[in-house]
Structure 1
């Protein structure tokens, strides 16, 4: 089995490898999930935005007050897409306090796609890193699958103060939806997982099967209720010895943390996780 997709800390010297938080959930018939979607964007921006967020707020303040100040070049845009009577419609707005509140309110109605995109700008006004992307998209024939993602460049270092809120956001959001998968990896692909890319498996095929086949694994892995139960539930998973932390989520599903600290998650630990989760992984010979 190719070990390149196990979610280890990147070995490359390239500093712009991102940190990627992902969550997949099944939307209950008749709705649900809107409050979780809003919280993903709102808390994600507030707690993980770092210097980019500070610069965006400074920019918005200066524009409102017509002040001229030492704000770094920054681009902040909001996107949302809906299915209307005339087909799919997408809207783009520049960030401001009022458009942000309007956008957050729209999220409660579960748009087909939504995105907050933040980029630093170079002297020519072109997007560069650092950057942050908070996104959601609905998959499936009736849009019954919701995927959430946050991508941060450069990657969060093991001692970055944003790790605790990142873990809290991922876990708390998973506890408010019917979760089928969640993870943290280091990947420059917003909706695919490292495992899916390694197996050439399109995410639009993998997501609707994510209750039965695991989309990936890593330092943090979230299993849906059915899959965790197949492996013995909370007690069975804890008894494997492959995880430093196992928790049964309040709304169903299982939170698995391979090691107490990210820096300790390397090949041997990843192999333990892979071995335990092997019955849930898709066939490595999968071909579309």
Structure 2
């Protein structure tokens, strides 16, 4: 059986962009409306309060029923947290907005279907916004999806386009320091994972702090890469990247950054395309030869070029 991997849409937004709570709420509201409109409509009439089964571990409803929940997690101490939850209904979204007025450590939205036992299962949509203690000036906007959504021969391109269209307004308006769509590595980019080593400074590869330096060095490269304005000139600007032939789309963002889509169809993002993107963006990456780690079952592949970016010719 072929392994299925998780893709992550990620944007790193700095505090200067505006209220983190308002940006996070827009992320949940706008992306879910574009990507999971039917699920939003299905749960919209529900009360805010989440119903509980009459018995422990009992069913929440009929198998196949769509559910949607929003959650907020606040830290009580460095190691203790509390999570509150509501339905992602119209009433629940009003609750979410009040909670985000004081931005929690993490907020999330999850739509899926109840399984054969009436328990929550699957992923029609999963969104998250979080602010980490080691990088408090940055908000991470994230979406997670199963790769077959993008590779499906019938619906794949439509799903790709929906996620791209959902991400674009945030990339254009909020001047992100970084953004991408790639396999997920628990916070790190694929490139950062490849640089992980006790012999290298932790901010090079640990996502909790690497985001603090994303305007100095590109965190990674992938099918979609959002390059901050500070690094656009380092790689020659939009004209040079267009001429490189490495990208299907090179789009200027409002504040000077660049939206770089390697191929118009995700299914065409093969190793040759990865190589082209690496060569074009190498001047913005940290120096050092990446390591290809042994991959355990269930882990994402390292879709990378394992050469030192500093030694890559133009």
TM range (shorter): 0.7 to 0.9
1:178 to 154, 175, 180: 175
Higher-RCO chain (CA-CA 8 Å, sequence separation at least 6): 1
Q: Is the 8 A contact 2:8 2:182 kept in 1?
A: yes
CA contact (8 A) 1:213 1:280 kept: yes
Note if contact 1:42-1:104 (Cα within 8 Å) is conserved in structure 2.
Answer: no
* Cα distance change of structure 1 residues 208 and 86 upon mapping to structure 2, 3 Å threshold: closer
Question: Does the CA contact (< 8 Å) of 2:223 and 2:263 recur in 1?
Answer: yes
CA distance in structure 2 between the aligned counterparts of 1:71 and 1:54, rounded to whole angstroms: 18
* Aligned: 1:221 with 2:225: yes
1:268 is displaced (CA, Å) by 1.0
User: Is the 8 Å Cα contact of residues 155 and 186 (structure 1) preserved in structure 2?
Assistant: no
Q: Output the CA distance in 2 between the equivalents of 1:18 and 1:244.
A: 23
Q: Which residue of 2 aligns with 1:135?
A: 128
CA RMSD of aligned residues (A): 3.4
Q: Is the 8 A contact 1:131 1:154 kept in 2?
A: no
Unaligned runs of 5+ in 1: 1-11
Q: Distance in 2 between matches of 1:51 and 1:45?
A: 9
Calculate the TM-score normalised by the size of structure 1.
0.79
Within a 5 Å distance, the mapping from 1:83-94 to structure 2 comes to: 90-94=82-86
Q: State which of 234, 240, 254 in structure 1 corresponds to 2:238.
A: 234
2:16 maps to which of 22, 25, 28? 28
Query: How far has the Cα of 1:107 moved from its partner?
Result: 3.0
- The answer to which of 72-81 and 145-154 deviates more is 72-81
Conserved? CA contact 1:24–1:145, under 8 Å: yes
CA distance in 2, matches of 1:153, 1:58: 28
Q: Could you say what secondary structure the match of 2:149 adopts? A: coil
- Superposed CA deviations along residues 156-183 of structure 1, whole A, max 9, x for unmatched, are 2344323223112212101221311111
Q: Is the 8 A contact 1:116 1:133 kept in 2?
A: yes
Q: TM-score, normalised by structure 2?
A: 0.73
Greater Cα shift, 89-98 or 141-150: 89-98
Distance 1:254 1:166 in 2: 17
Q: Aligned residues, how many?
A: 269
Offset of residue 243 of structure 1: 1.4
Asked if 1:191 corresponds to 2:178, the answer is no
2:96 corresponds to which of 97, 103, 107: 103
Tell whether the 8 Å contact from 1:185 to 1:218 is kept in structure 2 after alignment.
Answer: yes
Contact residue 134 and residue 151 of structure 1 kept, 8 A: yes
Structure 2, unmatched stretches of 5+, are 52-60, 197-204, 292-314
3-state DSSP class of the match of 2:264? coil
Over 3 Å counting, the alpha-carbon distance change for 1:52 and 1:192 in structure 2 is: farther
Q: CA 1:36–1:252 in structure 2 vs 1: closer, same or farther (change >3 Å)?
A: farther
